[in-house]
Amino acid sequence: MIDSKYGKRFKQLRLQKNFSLDNASIGITSKSSLYYWEKGQRNMPFDKVVAMLNRMRIPCEELDFGLNDEYQYMFAITNAYLKNDKQKLKQLALISLQQLRENSQDKNVLLKAAISCNFLKNSTNELLFSPKNLASLEELLSEIKEWNYEDVFNFGNTLSLLPNKRIFGLAKLLIQVYLENKPKNYLKWEHAALNTIFNASVTLIISDRQYGKKLISELNLLKIDDIFAFEKIRLIFISELVNYLETEDDSELVAHFFPTIEYLGFANLSTEMKKTFVKVKKQVA
């Protein structure tokens, strides 16, 4: 997750390239999300920042002023993932695993290795994270109490490594915390939590239909404000996936949902959802 303080630098770069909020954000994130991030009132996911920088033909290094090594590393991973640079992803994963072998008790190094291996597995289905490392990761995640930004980010970016039962349990806890914190209108945290919950739901729908359905029932407890337009669209998409699994009828998604999203200008979001739908269809087949 990109800290909100970097939004001001992003705005400078955007204006230098003569990109409006609409032109920079359309199909990647909402205009309001970009607006509030640039004002320092919201965080922005790494992948969305990198996608917008790439659209404006701005090297990621231009935003990377004073960033610490952890941010630089996440930029490298995200950029490689978006460009489908599988060789770079594997290189970064191997580097982080070597660092973990040298610093096996360092929780930050463990998380760095887990996130690297998570991106690699998502891209290539190659798993380099060992059972021993996974046990350490599960223990670390099970200790989460407050679910701050870092906790949400770490859980959301290690999903492909975790057992389905663990994903379900942690996502259910996060939903409970979300419901408790929601009255505070803590928008930055809400945005991160919702996307992590939805990603967990999609992961379970693809890998374990029963756990997926159980988590979807928990999602019905959420009441999402209109300010979270992207999240509301994703929730509708998840509901449509469940409907497809039950009926094997994709007419609503193909004939109405995807065309509507594209008509509204969310081409990147539609592409992402279509890739997910292909994975779900393979499960049915």
pLDDT band of 1, cuts 50, 70, 90: low
* Confidence (pTM): 0.79
Rounded mean pLDDT of 158-183?
A: 89
Percent of the chain with pLDDT over 70: 94
pLDDT in tens, 250-269: 999 999 999 999 898 888 88
**pLDDT value for 183:** 44
pLDDT in tens, 36-57: 999 888 888 888 888 898 889 8
pLDDT at 138 over 80: yes
From the number of C-beta atoms within 10 Å of its C-beta (0-12, 13-18, 19+), residue 125 rates as: exposed
Q: Are 1 and 44 in contact (CB under 8 A)?
A: yes
Write the CATH number of the domain with boundaries 1-83.
1.10.260.40
pLDDT at 27 over 60: yes
Domain residue extents for the chain:
1-83, 86-130
**pLDDT value for 166:** 96
Helices (H), the chain: 7-16, 21-25, 31-38, 46-55, 69-82, 86-102, 107-124, 131-142, 149-156, 164-181, 187-207, 209-219, 229-247, 251-252, 258-263, 267-284
pLDDT band of 243, cuts 50, 70, 90: confident
Greater confidence (1 vs 281) lies with 281
**pLDDT value for 275:** 86
Tokens 């609409």 map to which residue? 22
pLDDT in tens, 179-234: 887 545 577 788 889 999 999 999 998 888 889 888 988 887 888 888 888 888 98
Q: Are 1 and 45 in contact (CB under 8 A)?
A: yes
pLDDT in tens, 90-136: 999 999 999 999 999 999 899 999 999 999 999 999 999 999 999 99
Rounded mean pLDDT of 16-22?
A: 93
pLDDT at 67 over 60: no
**pLDDT value for 173:** 93
Could you give the 3-state DSSP secondary structure of residue 2?
strand
Average pLDDT over the chain, rounded to whole? 87
